[in-house]
Structure 1
Amino acid sequence: MDFITINSSNKTEEFALKQVAKQATSSLMYRLGKTLILASVCVEREPVSEDFLPLVVQFLEKSYAAGKIPGGFVKREGRAQDFEILTSRLIDRTLRPLFPKDYRYPTQITLMVLSHDIENDLQVSALNAASAALFLAHIAPLKSVSACRIARVDNEFIINPSTSLLNQSSLDLFVSGTKESLNMIEMRSLGQKLNALEEPLMLEALELAQKSLKETCTLYEEAFTPYQNELLFKEGEGIALNERLLDLLTNQYFDEIIKGIESSALSERENVFNEIAKKISEAHSEFSLEEIELSLEKVKKTEIRRMIIQDKIRPDKRALEEVRPISIESSLLPMAHSSILFTRGQTQSLVVGVLGTDNDAQTHESLEHKTPIKERFMFHYNFPPFCVGEASSIGATSRRELGHGNLAKRALETSIKNKDQVIRLVSEILESNGSSSMASVCAGSLALYASGVEIHDLVAGVAMGMVSEGQDHAILSDISGLEDAEGDMDFKIAGNVEGITAMQMDTKMSGIRLEVLYQALLQAKRARKHILKIMHEAKEKIVINFSHLPTTEIFNVAPDKIIEIIGQGGRVIKEIVEKFEVKIDLNKPSGEVKIMGNKERVLKTKEFILNYLHSLDQELEQYAIDEVLEAQVKRIVDFGAFLSLPKGGEGLLRKQNMDRCQVILKEGDSIRCRVISFNKGKIALDLA
């Protein structure tokens, strides 16, 4: 067993090698303070034939890591929670660009959180553990990567803040990369205000992150290189393209390839290229279908990149900074609290807004919080197959859908003034040709306004792309699906006119230089201003239907009256909710009653509750201590019997009083009883 200690960027990391999980290709135990993560890499020795990178990353939290037993009926960890899925995606998106393009060995990276101190950053720790385990596995000539988080407290940037410091920050910036460049970014603004970060400050934060990553990656490579496994895969072992086939495609089928490139819809484009492949296969049997498809993809990609770099024109004939035409419609769904249809080119998002009560908030358990937390602002993103012309069934929420919804939520949540409101936005992607998550942000911001939610400002999103060849590169605004697939970068940026509220950057290269990122940030700002202008024009035309929007009425009663509103087994409150079609939240300790629903129904519900409580008080006032009554048994319970009283109301005859007098009662019996006390609005009885 070997121990390695790394001191960098405000933290001391310990790596125990060859201690556990020794049958994996590589494994290590990562430690930061009281946080321990087991990282393992397993690689199959037989490559797959399909043309994709077979990489799977799984980040798993164990409840025992924080001294907890899982909540819920089943006391065992079940399906992955949102945070686990999002962290798995975070690590995957960082590591995937490092692999050679022709790497085909099934590879699984597993990260198990075995112990966790709430003050440590789990995502940074997990990525660093995964990076170290992958570097040690030496399955390909991969560079070392690391991660850091940047916060901003009192206008000062802080590297790798504690959880306590991050809670005080106006910025949450997660960056990963090599010692030369950045290859993954996630950012969101924090706080009660919008806190949009201006581009020069963002560059300053990224420069600080790059400096931190360079230091850490250098230390990793120096420390871990002596312990690496024997190299498994060398670049160039993939399928070699047939030069004669490439010439054939370029000379005889080039016009058809251009037609396919210029096809705007994914399904149409696939049909064109499938037809070309079929034609060549029938005319030239010496070429396999796999060879044809790979060569066709190569020619297509080369031509798209040439058009953009040399001709400064895009496949759909747009200029590099040109945003596709935008149209916005509102109030399409009469029963929803708000609905916005945002269309940008061939990408279309229908965002529907619904307001709820405290009981509608989503409860989450995680290692990052000592107690379950309530998610009051929810953004759910759905990507049905018909939006790209596919004929397949709609299944469970995918990792991608969860990630896109989370990005849109992060972009919008600081724009909401009242953070106590419970809001659910749902984005239904009806058409997709790139940038659907950013269309969701635009539609979502307008849907908040249309729901009557007070916002600091409108927020718009745009996806930026990049194509590079050698020293030349071109930045693209509002990328299409084809440009996303064939380009080198997908950089989603959301914010208002002043700055950025959220962003996410992925790359297919080993990294992006800071000067290129800054150019993309400035170009995105110009695109964002253009989109926001159209959104503000649409906002002026939105008519908020306040009569349909739910209203909230809050009032207080005596805390001991809450039980009366609930009733035996919840009978009373169920009847009220069903009768008036409202939602009611009750706070027993404070006596607070919160009613939400249609304004007229809310007011009627409040009036009903107050009258109901008043009638109970009047019933009590009709009786006196030691008064003897003739009562009728209404119902028998384990602890006694409830009796209907002659002047209205009911009282409780406890079981011990019945046992003392050896009385056996059944429902409907009449009995003489005596009032002995009034307790929290209840009449206590004894046998007379």
Structure 2
Amino acid sequence: MVHQVKLEVGGRTLTLETGKVAKQADGAVMVSYNDTSVLVTAVSSNQIREGIDFFPLTVEYQEKMFAAGRIPGGFFKREGRPGAHEILTCRVIDRPIRPLFPEGYKYETQIIATVLSADRAGCPDVISLIGASAALEVSDIPFDGPVGAVRVGRIDGQLILNPSVDDLEACDIDLLVAARREAIVMVEGGASMVPEDEIIEALYFAHEAILPILDAQEELRAKAGKPKRPFVAPKTDEALLERIRQMAEPGLAEVYSHTDKRERYAALERFERQFMESLPQDLVGREEEVARALEKAKKQYVRQRIVATKKRIDGRGLTDVRPISIDLGFLPRTHGSALFTRGETQAVVVTTLGTASDEQRIDSLYGDVWKRFLLHYNFPPYCVGEARMLRSPGRREIGHGALAERALAKVLPPQEEFPYTIRVVSEITESNGSSSMATVCGGSLSLMDAGVPISAPVAGVAMGLIREGDEYLVLSDILGDEDHLGDMDFKVAGTAEGVTAVQMDIKIDGIPREVMQKALYQARENRLQILEEMRKAIPGPRGEMSRHAPRIEVIHINPDKIRDVIGPGGKVIRSIVQETGCKIDVEDDGSVWIASSDAHALEKAITIIEGITQSPEVGRIYRGTVRRVVDFGAFVEILPGTDGLLHISQLADKRVRNVTDVVKEGDNIPVKVLEVDRQGKIRLSLKEALRELGETESSGA
């Protein structure tokens, strides 16, 4: 039987429907919003996956080009591996739903969201997240939902729900927010240097809008939900946990006396090995239970130690930022580089400047999109002291790169002022937490080192949280262990003026509004400290670019002259490139982009192109080359590719019997343009040019 629930969200109808499509899945919901429809399915295996200590959840999001009436590009003309946007949407769906499965649930589970119809106002990523929660709600899969989502934008100070693709271009806030009834659980988005209190206002505006979406999912579950399959979470033996905690506490105290990560990890490895090897006889055979209890004891010890002492794992106070060091321009052949080190996290960040032809073309649902700013984040295994196979960037790397790209994009100059394609690459060379925020800081520094005139430097910091009872402790610049053992990961990037990017994930039921405010304002104080350290290294963008960076000049020609610059089969433009070594791109509007690291070659290319596209002016004198002599005169090239007729009667004041008595092929002579007729034929005069030049010389004398 088909069941539907409808509600109004942001002035448009959101429809949740189940029982019509994909009925063999454990749960399937078709979510429609405006003219956008997404099918979301949830399936979980009946066989437990042995030998793992994590929840095997896979989330896939795929945009079918037929949804927007398009045929995919490329040779095969079909959808292939997911693009960056699809991977980022997978992460957005995964992050808020993963913590809502029961602890110890080790059954292979897969969520697939497929965009089947798309318009520019349907927010497919938002409704895919809603659909994932709804599909789990109506399925028999154990799930402690629901969770809802909206996107919040702001135009001219007015907050709006689920802005269209076109509206987003005018928004100074763009936040995707997911929430349960109790609190916000995930945030992903950016802003144009917006103050913290306005970000908080947008977040809670979103939370209010999400509540009816949760009601709709519960209504759908009441109508069509299946009974949940039986699952008993592994019970914690409290007596065993307390015993292990007491046995482990002296050893954990020694382990966490080490403030250096490598020393601490080595001590922890020794302690865990010795602990398991020296178990009392009555615990032999219960190693798996003991290992789980030891992990919980370790987490409890660290959290309670921080709460009791207000000191962190590495000895810092709650609000302290790790020591920072900066080395600028240390890679001599790059266009801009920075080595940014914060504690035991380090990033080598490099900026490369390119031309318009280096822009990235993205084949999207809404047509071809061209990107002139790219940021790529790489996390090689050596940065955490591991040896494993190097692979192409994973979802985490793509997500971290997108967050840093969003943080920096707001301060870049417009293309009209800085006509370069910009690529920033961050190589994480050491990691102990907050490497994405190190990428933001290092990216800002390398852009300034490259001479990119950014409007303001950007810094980022990752905030954490520990809740024990009613006490909430907000931690600044968290370590990897504090991220793993804590209750929140809240990354905030921005300038001294305001926020440019945020990403938040909460692992507990929710946090009060005042705690979120405290985290944002504490992040601001830390950000200002980091910006001051960056200012000491470089107060602003360099006044000139690296000598290895291309110089770009943009000239504008009459669009009718484009074919003259290109030439038949590209012959003319190829000859200019070969002669000057410049890179040349010609746009349909007559813009010609010329790039070279050699200033002389750049000027030469400009001169050639201007010569080709210049139109002869009547009355003007040109120096031309005699290209061909005929009985009635000579053809003189006055501009590249432009010839005029010098009639025999215009060679001299006296009568000339033979043209060759006055000019020969190859001669360089002055000629005056007498006329350009309707057919574009040019009539020239040597005698008029000589007369005027003679008069000019006489008057000059």
- TM-score, normalization by structure 1: 0.85
Partner of 2:307: 309
Give the C-alpha shift of residue 309 in structure 1.
Answer: 1.8
2:204 aligned with 1:199? no
The 5-angstrom pairing of residues 95-134 of structure 1 reads: 95-134=97-136
Name the CA distance, whole Å, in 1 between partners of 2:114 and 2:99: 23
Partner of 1:258: 253
SS at match of 1:426: strand
Correspondence for 1:229 among 199, 208, 226? 226
Cα-to-partner distance string for 1:501-553 (whole Å, 9 max, x where unaligned)? 11000122233332221111111111111111111111139855535143211
Partner of 1:346: 344
Bigger shift: residues 572-581 or 105-114: 572-581
Give the direction of change, closer, same or farther, for the CA distance of 1:282–1:563 in structure 2 (3 Å limit): same
Give the C-alpha shift of residue 602 in structure 1.
Answer: 1.9
Bigger shift: residues 597-606 or 167-176: 597-606
Name the CA distance, whole Å, in 2 between partners of 1:528 and 1:463: 10
Give the C-alpha shift of residue 613 in structure 1.
Answer: 7.7
CA RMSD of aligned residues (A): 3.1
Correspondence for 1:282 among 268, 277, 287? 277
Partner of 2:361: 363
Q: Which has the larger radius of gyration?
A: 2
Contact kept in structure 1, 2:188 and 2:504, CA below 8 Å: yes
Give the C-alpha shift of residue 7 in structure 1.
Answer: 1.1
2:5 aligned with 1:5? yes
Correspondence for 2:393 among 380, 390, 397? 397
The 5-angstrom pairing of residues 491-530 of structure 1 reads: 491-530=490-529
Name the CA distance, whole Å, in 1 between partners of 2:193 and 2:265: 40
Give the direction of change, closer, same or farther, for the CA distance of 1:230–1:334 in structure 2 (3 Å limit): same
SS at match of 1:255: helix
Contact kept in structure 2, 1:379 and 1:409, CA below 8 Å: yes
Partner of 1:37: 38
Correspondence for 1:58 among 57, 60, 65? 60
Give the C-alpha shift of residue 181 in structure 1.
Answer: 0.4
Contact kept in structure 2, 1:249 and 1:296, CA below 8 Å: yes
Give the C-alpha shift of residue 158 in structure 1.
Answer: 1.3
Q: Which amino acid aligns with 1:45?
A: N
Give the C-alpha shift of residue 589 in structure 1.
Answer: 5.0
Name the CA distance, whole Å, in 2 between partners of 1:613 and 1:32: 51
The 5-angstrom pairing of residues 536-685 of structure 1 reads: 536-540=535-539, 546=545, 548=547, 549-557=549-557, 559=559, 561-567=561-567, 569-570=569-570, 572-574=572-574, 576-577=576-577, 580-590=580-590, 592-609=592-609, 622=627
Q: Which amino acid aligns with 2:27?
A: S
Contact kept in structure 1, 2:564 and 2:612, CA below 8 Å: no
2:41 aligned with 1:72? no
Partner of 1:148: 150
Contact kept in structure 1, 2:95 and 2:505, CA below 8 Å: yes
Partner of 1:485: 484
Identity of counterpart residues, as a percentage?
A: 39
Structure 2 residue ranges without an equivalent (≥5) = 617-621, 644-677, 682-701
Q: Which amino acid aligns with 2:93?
A: I
Give the direction of change, closer, same or farther, for the CA distance of 1:599–1:138 in structure 2 (3 Å limit): farther
Give the C-alpha shift of residue 272 in structure 1.
Answer: 3.1
Name the CA distance, whole Å, in 2 between partners of 1:680 and 1:238: 89
Partner of 1:462: 461
Bigger shift: residues 155-164 or 319-328: 155-164
Name the CA distance, whole Å, in 2 between partners of 1:113 and 1:385: 35
Name the CA distance, whole Å, in 2 between partners of 1:404 and 1:203: 23
SS at match of 2:340: strand
Partner of 1:416: 412
Bigger shift: residues 586-595 or 27-36: 586-595
Name the CA distance, whole Å, in 2 between partners of 1:627 and 1:92: 83
Give the direction of change, closer, same or farther, for the CA distance of 1:334–1:542 in structure 2 (3 Å limit): farther
Structure 1 residue ranges without an equivalent (≥5) = 190-194, 630-644, 652-677, 682-688
Give the C-alpha shift of residue 400 in structure 1.
Answer: 0.7
Give the C-alpha shift of residue 216 in structure 1.
Answer: 2.0
Name the CA distance, whole Å, in 2 between partners of 1:164 and 1:591: 26
Contact kept in structure 2, 1:553 and 1:596, CA below 8 Å: no
Give the C-alpha shift of residue 8 in structure 1.
Answer: 3.6
Contact kept in structure 2, 1:560 and 1:680, CA below 8 Å: no
Name the CA distance, whole Å, in 2 between partners of 1:9 and 1:310: 45
Cα-to-partner distance string for 1:325-368 (whole Å, 9 max, x where unaligned)? 0111100111111001111000011110011111111111111x
Name the CA distance, whole Å, in 1 between partners of 2:332 and 2:29: 56
Name the CA distance, whole Å, in 1 between partners of 2:142 and 2:630: 88
Partner of 2:426: 427
Give the C-alpha shift of residue 593 in structure 1.
Answer: 4.5
Partner of 2:211: 214
- TM-score, normalization by structure 2: 0.83
Name the CA distance, whole Å, in 1 between partners of 2:566 and 2:47: 64
Q: Which amino acid aligns with 2:34?
A: G
Cα-to-partner distance string for 1:82-115 (whole Å, 9 max, x where unaligned)? 1111001000011112122222211100000011
Partner of 1:21: 22
Give the C-alpha shift of residue 573 in structure 1.
Answer: 3.8
Contact kept in structure 1, 2:378 and 2:426, CA below 8 Å: yes
Name the CA distance, whole Å, in 2 between partners of 1:401 and 1:205: 28
SS at match of 2:539: helix
Give the C-alpha shift of residue 280 in structure 1.
Answer: 3.1
Contact kept in structure 2, 1:463 and 1:492, CA below 8 Å: yes
Give the C-alpha shift of residue 245 in structure 1.
Answer: 7.0
Partner of 2:619: none
Partner of 1:163: 165
Partner of 1:181: 183
Name the CA distance, whole Å, in 2 between partners of 1:8 and 1:512: 28
Name the CA distance, whole Å, in 2 between partners of 1:244 and 1:163: 55
Name the CA distance, whole Å, in 2 between partners of 1:134 and 1:436: 33
Contact kept in structure 1, 2:6 and 2:14, CA below 8 Å: yes
SS at match of 2:46: coil
Partner of 1:438: 437
Cα-to-partner distance string for 1:248-276 (whole Å, 9 max, x where unaligned)? 5533x433323433545666544433323
Give the C-alpha shift of residue 611 in structure 1.
Answer: 6.3
SS at match of 2:545: coil
Q: Which amino acid aligns with 2:326?
A: I
SS at match of 1:83: helix
Q: Which amino acid aligns with 1:517?
A: M
Give the direction of change, closer, same or farther, for the CA distance of 1:518–1:608 in structure 2 (3 Å limit): same
Contact kept in structure 2, 1:98 and 1:509, CA below 8 Å: no
Partner of 1:136: 138
Correspondence for 1:88 among 90, 95, 108? 90
Contact kept in structure 2, 1:342 and 1:439, CA below 8 Å: yes
